[in-house]
Amino acid sequence: ILKECFIFPSDIKTNFSSIGGLKKTKVIMNELITLPLKRPELFKTGILKETTTGILLFGPPGTGKTLTARAVASQCGANFLNIQMSNIQSKWVGENEKNVKAIFSLARKLAPCVLFIDEIDALLQTRKGEFTPHYMVNTLNEFMQEWDGLNSQNDGVIVIGATNRPFDLDEAVLRRLPRRIFVSLPDAESRSEILDILLKEETVGYSKEERKEILDYVAGKTNQWSGSDLKNLCIATVMNAIKQQIIDPGKQNEVCRTIEKQHFDMAFESGDI
């Protein structure tokens, strides 16, 4: 199971400058996570002892939930453990509970650590089902027990859950994730920022002004697109520039490519995105 988790040590940097838009989300995440991770002892006494610091990120797919959680961990020098709920499920009896124990125990060893649980709604679906198999009830109970253990010790592990289906979550999980943050689709200004970040190593246009003009043009044409959709668009666009470079005798020997507006248009017109 632990082979299937992604662990990013604190020295691997993904910081807030790798995230376009989501300004408010970044501020809230920073406040909610940085202090409890940097100074866990302040949260071990008084009324705070009883509080849980779990955070739920919810919103459409590909809007940067994982990226934000990873960046905030990295910003405050914490390790980042990324778990997909589907990885926990095993066909062997008793194996699920062991997996859950192993994950929480690893998170404690990696403290300060952000334990990111993607598709957290999957944990609860089994509770809602009429014929919940016995072994799944055990997994769920184990999960809740370990989670409560974390909360009562405040030992430098923060749980962030993510879901695209917040309405599927039941009370047991919601109670443990008292802070809920909506991660929305980006507006035009944020889309332009995301494009700029995704293409930071590429030359776009023949001047700074032209770069901005092209990125704003693309942002204007991508209403309701997520960051992940924009990434696919950028990949297709850069491929268009490369393909053109290969067939153009005047450009064949050039090592650097320049992304032009027409390369984006070709990607839009191809209909593959």
Nearer to ligand ATP, 34 or 228 (CB): 228
Shortest reach from residue 98's CB to ligand ATP, in Å: 26
Nearer to ligand ATP, 97 or 118 (CB): 118
The one among 40, 64, 156, 161 contacting ligand ATP by CB under 6 A? 64
Can you tell me the distance from the alpha carbon of 106 to that of 115, in angstroms, rounded to the nearest whole number?
10
The one among 5, 14, 22, 85 contacting ligand ATP by CB under 6 A? 22
Q: DSSP letter at 48?
A: G
- Determine how many CB atoms are found less than 10 A away from the CB of residue 223: 11
The one among 14, 16, 21, 99 contacting ligand ATP by CB under 6 A? 21
**Within positions 94 to 153, which residues make up the interface with ligand ATP, using CB under 6 A?**
118
The one among 34, 126, 138, 164 contacting ligand ATP by CB under 6 A? 164
Query: x/- site string to ligand ATP, residues 242 to 271, per CB under 6 A?
Result: ------------------------------
Nearer to ligand ATP, 23 or 38 (CB): 23
191 in contact with ligand ATP (CB under 6 A)? no
Inter-residue long-range contacts of 174-179, CB under 8 Å, 24+ positions, other chains counted? 174/56, 175/52, 176/52, 176/54, 176/144, 176/147, 176/148, 176/151, 177/52, 177/54, 177/55, 177/56, 177/120, 178/51, 178/52, 178/54, 179/28, 179/32, 179/53, 179/54, 179/55, 179/56
166 in contact with ligand ATP (CB under 6 A)? no
Closest residue by Cα to residue 111 from 13, 36, 25, 28 = 36
Binding segment toward ligand ATP, per CB under 6 A, in 2-10, 126-134, 148-156, 227-235:
227-235
Centroid of chain to Cα 109: 22
Cβ atoms of residues 136 and 96 within 8 Å: yes
Q: Which residue is nearest to ligand ATP (CB)?
A: 227
Binding site for ligand ATP (CB under 6 A): 19-22, 61-67, 118, 162, 164, 194, 197, 227-228, 231
